[in-house]
Amino acid sequence: MTRPVASRVRDLDTPALLIDLDRMERNLAKVASYGSEHHLRVRPHTKTHKIPALARRQLELGSVGLTVAKVGEAEVMLDARPPELLVAFPVIGRSKLDRLMHVARETAVTVSLDSLFAAEQLSAAAGDHQVEVGVLAEVDVGLGRVGVAPGPALLQLAEAIHRLPHLRWDGVAFYPGQIKSLDDEGQRQIARLAELIGEMLADLRRAGFEPRIVSGGSTPTLFESHRLPGVNEIRPGTYIFNDRNTVLSGACNWHECAASILVTVVSTAKPGQIIVDGGSKTFSSDRPVTGSEVSFGRVVEAENAVFGKMNEEHGFVDVGTVNHDFGVGDRVRIIPNHVCVAVNLHECVYGIRGDDVVEVWPVAARGKLQ
């Protein structure tokens, strides 16, 4: 049974993930103009919003294509009619590859990968389905997650991709996820990254490989991307909404946080504490990526409140030092630490302007883990 959706925020049932559309639109416009000013292709990562209608808006603002992590997300994002889709994750296993080849019949598909095994499987699947697939060689620039080391391992991977049939070597991809803040240490890391990319591109060129695409980007380093010579594509995801981590990284301010979770105070029985109707199943258990504080979001109505503990459905907020009396039934908005995982927990998000609910988007790619 579908429930009628309230047209006012004050009437929405909680927990509800709210998107301030004015803020979101400003975030989208800012990155679109940064990309065009610096001649950077923008291929936003849709893992943050997981909503084809929002992906469509990104494309209408000039994004060249979309990025996803999972084949299931790629299938959903076809609804946004992207001219190209990058799966920024090695796709391993025949059944996933077969599904991806069906996607490749609908739009141009590129995969970033870091092994001969993944490249050979992809080449075989592309051959069976008679499609050509673009490939980016994934390089590790310090996160230590996926990606070959720059140098001989990268050259070997590029050569292998080059020689495999049905694959088109498009260039390289990296994800500077180890850079979590724009403080002095973050700036030093960005300078080192610029050097590393310069050396990597020089090595590739000496070996006869001219990458058409050098794809990087993350939200914390987003507006520093033009300082990385040779990078011509960025794949930010979080920027559309931003979150507490983005603020803590120094990459945006609170007024640029478009997403918040509306919750209701359900208990004030313990003095100095309120319990809200959202816990780890509403916010996720992600802690801040910088600092050592254990806390799960920022209470918009009381910035000194500490959302320091969660059970699945209960959020424990310490309001001992807050100059505000909360009562049962009050509603507060909390900006989550990590919005991407929070969105994945919600069936839908509500686009709001002031107190008006003007959009309700199902989170179509939530839970698409395969």
Ligand X SMILES: Cc1ncc(COP(=O)(O)O)c(C=O)c1O
Contact positions toward ligand X, by CB under 6 A? 45, 48, 88, 175, 218-219, 235-239
Taking the least distance from each CB to ligand X, the nearer of 136 and 302 is 136
Query: Minimum Å distance from CB 85 to ligand X?
Result: 13
CB of 70 to ligand X, least distance (A): 11
CB of 234 vs ligand X, minimal distance in Å: 9
Distance in Å, CB of 180 to ligand X, minimum: 10
241 vs 307 by CB, closer to ligand X: 241
Cβ distance to ligand X smaller for residue 232 or 268? 232
CA–CA distance, 18 with 85 (Å, rounded to integer): 27
Instruction: Name the residue nearer to ligand X (CB basis): 196 or 360.
Output: 196
Q: 73 with 82: CB under 8 angstroms?
A: no
Nearest distance, CB of residue 138 and ligand X, angstroms? 8
With respect to ligand X, which residue has the nearer C-beta, 12 or 154? 154
Which residue, 171 or 236, has its beta carbon nearer to ligand X?
236
Cβ burial, residue 25 (10 Å; 0-12/13-18/19+): middle
Q: Residue 306 Cβ, how far from ligand X at the closest point, in Å?
A: 25
Could you tell me the smallest distance in angstroms from the CB atom of residue 50 to ligand X?
12
**Three state DSSP letters for the chain:** CCCCCCCEHHHCCCCEEEEEHHHHHHHHHHHHHHHHHCCCEECCECCCCCCHHHHHHHHHCCCCCEEECCHHHHHHHHHHCCCEEEECCCCCCHHHHHHHHHHHHHCEEEEEECCHHHHHHHHHHHHHCCCCEEEEEEECCCCCCCCECCCHHHHHHHHHHHHCCCEEEEEEECCCCCCCCCCHHHHHHHHHHHHHHHHHHHHHHHCCCCCCEEEECCCCCHHHHHHCCCCCEECCCHHHCCCHHHHHHCCCCHHHCCEEEEEEEEECCCCCEEEECCCHHHHCCCCCCCCCCCCCEEECCCCCCEEEEECCCCEEEECCCCCCCCCCCCEEEEEECCHHHHHCCCCEEEEEECCEEEEEEECCCCCCCC
Which CB, 48 or 123, lies closer to ligand X? 48
Shortest reach from residue 305's CB to ligand X, in Å: 26
Judged by beta carbon, residue 223 or residue 239, the one nearer ligand X is 239
